[in-house]
Amino acid sequence: MIDSSSVRSYLLGLQQRITGSIAAIDGGVFASDPWEKEPDEPLQGNGITMILEQGEVFERAGCGFSHVRGPKLPPSATQHRPELAGAPFEAMGVSLVFHPRNPYVPTVHMNVRMLVATPASGAKACWFGGGMDLTPYYGFEEDAVHFHQTCKAALTPFGEDKYPRFKKWCDEYFYLKHRNEQRGVGGVFFDDFQELGFEGSLDMMRSVADSFLAAYLPIVERRKDTPYGERERDFQLYRRGRYVEFNLVWDRGTHFGLQSGGRTESILMSMPPLASWSYQRPVEADSAEARLTSEFLVRRDWL
Amino acid sequence: MIDSSSVRSYLLGLQQRITGSIAAIDGGVFASDPWEKEPDEPLQGNGITMILEQGEVFERAGCGFSHVRGPKLPPSATQHRPELAGAPFEAMGVSLVFHPRNPYVPTVHMNVRMLVATPASGAKACWFGGGMDLTPYYGFEEDAVHFHQTCKAALTPFGEDKYPRFKKWCDEYFYLKHRNEQRGVGGVFFDDFQELGFEGSLDMMRSVADSFLAAYLPIVERRKDTPYGERERDFQLYRRGRYVEFNLVWDRGTHFGLQSGGRTESILMSMPPLASWSYQRPVEADSAEARLTSEFLVRRDWL
């Protein structure tokens, strides 16, 4: 039995827990912006966009909840499920991107979502998606290992196959083909998931979401007071340009959201506060900056 | 008779003239980066990327020439010409984006290009595209009028209809649907142009390209020494974020170039040196910043 109101409550609670912890470590406050779709818009629904900008630890940290209903599933959602094409649907999720100020603290992304479709002839279909991934500016093996260990621990109770499958999927998804590099050190990513039935699949999604703070906060604590100068700041701004490139060129959610009339300012919460570009920026051989690309932005088994 | 070597010479000269004038006004020097496609790449050909970064007047100014040949026209190029689908082709052009340092000087874009296709059964087909458009951070009516007047004067000898048609086309193309705003105050844009035959169409393209410096330099001269402070700089960085959004989300050349294996660093010469994002950035009522959106980033008849 699909109980979407309990999933909604869970997701709203998740948003509160995560923003509460991030605000506590930062010392700042998240602004909360509840929104509702206008009656004449193609999608109906509401959401809460929460954002902390120009904090001590986080230069821009956005965490959004949204819950929408539409009369017809878009083609991009039914590529693997032609029997659901055009069915009425309900989608809800929490999505976050946190951009720290200190270049030694990695940027992080997490998203969990549920989609329910109600085809005219048949029972409701429900599936889940989600994951989290880490994007360092300066690579530390122990951070990548900790992040992946936490992801693995969250998934292993749901089957030994889950972490390796979703780790690989993450590497494949968060890849900048035009740069031939990974967005970061990866993590886990899954979509269209219903293998464990409604309850089991929901539990797995919750397990991933509930492990987010354990995966990320220790890394923030460990790196946030590392001294840095102009060199590290410049490199961070330059690397953030790649984050922009990924999100606007390759990320399906962002790209199609913007092209299809999504809520722009909520979608673009993932943009960094400041980013730079320069032509064929030179990198000093054997530097930490060079090692980021050669040792961290590649597909690696971190465990 | 299609003489592509004379077009190549013209375009290389154009790149030299434009970068020479920009370097003179800036006091800096363009780095010149000639490149050649590897034999195993799908496209063959070469180009010269010229870029001036961190100059006095221009924070990032890129101007590229490229000349490539391919075995098969991509589908995106033959939407309006099914008879040429899959034909071998040759493409050459000059493309530039100049990002000034002073927020009172507008960013400018210009591009001219020629495409020749050789279908197995039939004569060569040749068409031209191009245009230029202006993106101010602080709007000045006299700048927009001067820019449009120069575009119109370049096109009128080729028919009274050209400026109005290409002005409208520019407004339609350089539009951020997800923001419901124009990229800037427009200019002219044309594509698939062969109405005047090879010689006449080439002459028209040259007339547009040859008027670029006359359209832009007087505006640079007029604004480049305007005093500004943090407020104007912040607004400029914020508006540059929109430039990034347009190029990565909506610009067909950029988006498909990156997705299909084009030369990334040359394509992304159009990116600003530094850009910022902030959530629902407030704008003071009746300020110059508010007027940019309400009076300049709208479709207007400037003449």
Non-local CB neighbours of A285 within 8 Å, separated by 6+ positions: none
Encode B55-87: b = buried (16+ Cβ within 10 Å), e = exposed: bebbbbbbbbbbbbbbeebeeebbeeeeebeeb
Phi, psi values for residue A262, rounded to 5°: -70, 180
Interface of A with B (CB under 8 A): 31, 33, 49, 51, 53, 60, 62, 177-179, 237, 241, 244-245, 248-249, 255, 258-259, 261-262, 264-265, 268-269, 271-280
Concatenated DSSP letters of B44-74: EEEEEEEEEES-SSEEEEEEEEEEEEESS--
Q: Tell me the pLDDT tens digit for each residue of A155-186.
A: 999 999 999 999 999 999 999 999 999 999 99
Phi, psi values for residue A102, rounded to 5°: -75, 125
Q: Tell me the pLDDT tens digit for each residue of A89-124.
A: 999 999 999 999 999 999 999 999 999 998 887 788
* CA separation for the pair A213, A211 (Å, rounded): 6
* CA separation for the pair B44, B104 (Å, rounded): 41
Interface of B with A (CB under 8 A): 31, 33, 49, 51, 53, 60, 62, 177-179, 237, 241, 244-245, 248-249, 255, 258-259, 261-262, 264-265, 268-269, 271-280
Q: Is the pLDDT of residue A297 over 90?
A: yes
Q: Tell me the pLDDT tens digit for each residue of B42-80.
A: 788 999 999 999 999 999 999 999 999 888 887 767 777
CB spacing of A279 vs B265 below 8 angstroms: yes
* CA separation for the pair A96, A65 (Å, rounded): 9
To 5 degrees, how large is the angle CA B132–CA B8–CA B21? 50
Q: Tell me the pLDDT tens digit for each residue of B179-225.
A: 999 999 999 999 999 999 999 999 999 999 999 999 999 999 999 99
Best CA proximity match to A251, nearest among A271, A279, A221: A271
In chain A, whose CA is at the least distance from the CA of B59? A278
Measured between beta carbons, which residues in chain A are less than 8 angstroms from residue B51? 279
**pLDDT value of residue A1:** 63
- pLDDT band of A280, cuts 50, 70, 90: very high
Mean pLDDT of the residues in chain A: 94
Measured between beta carbons, which residues in chain A are less than 8 angstroms from residue B277? 60, 268, 271-273
Q: Is the pLDDT of residue A84 over 90?
A: no
In chain A, whose CA is at the least distance from the CA of B255? A249
The stretch A226-246 carries a mean pLDDT of 98
**pLDDT value of residue B105:** 98
**pLDDT value of residue B1:** 63
* CA separation for the pair B233, B226 (Å, rounded): 12
Long-range contact list for A170-173, CB < 8 A, 24+ apart?
Answer: A170/A131, A170/A133, A171/A299
Q: Is the pLDDT of residue B2 over 80?
A: no
Rg for chain B, CA atoms, rounded: 19
> Tokens 């363009």 map to which residue?
B30
